[in-house]
Amino acid sequence: MLQSSPRSIPRLLIVDDDDLVLELITTRLGLAGYDTYAARDGIQALQRAHQVRPQAMVLDLNMPRADGFEVLEAMARSPRTSHIPILVLTVRNRPEDVRTAIRLGAKDYLTKPFEDQQLLRRVARLTRKPPRGPLGEAVPFELDD
């Protein structure tokens, strides 16, 4: 029986300064079969992005040391991180925040609070891989928003 290699499991970097939100998101995406890594502020996010080389990132905007907009700008400037698709996940829902995030390189934008299925769909689009369970089985989720 063939086993999937660890390289086929999408690595995700989850960035949020709220420990409860960070734990919720990393746990949920881990259960969906993603290899998750965490960062608690913008500076740590940039360091981890270079170390981990994730296939995608879930990024909060309101953070200490460097906010999400600064992270988006820095990642877009670096050849090592400019290709990483980023989902902004934040409480900020003003149209100008959405436009700024997209202009700075975010591929998607989701506001808190969010539904579990919304997060799974958005991350699956970023990674181009549907979520998988711990035994490699498909995790059911709706494709339509």
Q: How many angstroms separate the CA atoms of 30 and 100, rounded?
A: 29
Residue 138 lies in a domain: no
Q: pLDDT, tens digit, for every residue of 64-92?
A: 999 999 999 999 999 999 999 999 999 99
Domain that holds residue 46: 17-116
CA-nearest of 62, 57, 65 to 14 is 57
Residue 125 lies in a domain: no
Residue 64 lies in a domain: yes
Residue 63 lies in a domain: yes
Residue 129 lies in a domain: no
- pLDDT on residue 142: 52
- pLDDT on residue 1: 35
Tell me the residue type at 37. Answer: Y
Q: How many angstroms separate the CA atoms of 97 and 85, rounded?
A: 18
pTM of the predicted protein model: 0.85
Residue 62 lies in a domain: yes
Count structural domains, the chain: 1
In contact, 40 and 65? CB cutoff 8 Å: no
In contact, 139 and 32? CB cutoff 8 Å: yes
Is the pLDDT score of 145 beyond 90?
A: no
Instruction: Name the pLDDT band for 139 (thresholds 50, 70, 90).
Output: low
Instruction: Name the pLDDT band for 131 (thresholds 50, 70, 90).
Output: low
Residue 133 lies in a domain: no
For residue 78, what is the domain's CATH number?
A: 3.40.50.2300
Q: For 53-144, where are the E strands, in sequence order?
A: 56-59, 86-90, 108-111
Residue 97 lies in a domain: yes
Helices (H), 13-78: 19-31, 42-52, 68-77
CA-nearest of 112, 109, 113 to 98 is 109
Tell me the residue type at 75. Answer: M
Q: pLDDT, tens digit, for every residue of 19-68?
A: 999 999 999 999 998 999 999 999 999 999 999 999 999 999 999 999 99
- pLDDT on residue 140: 56
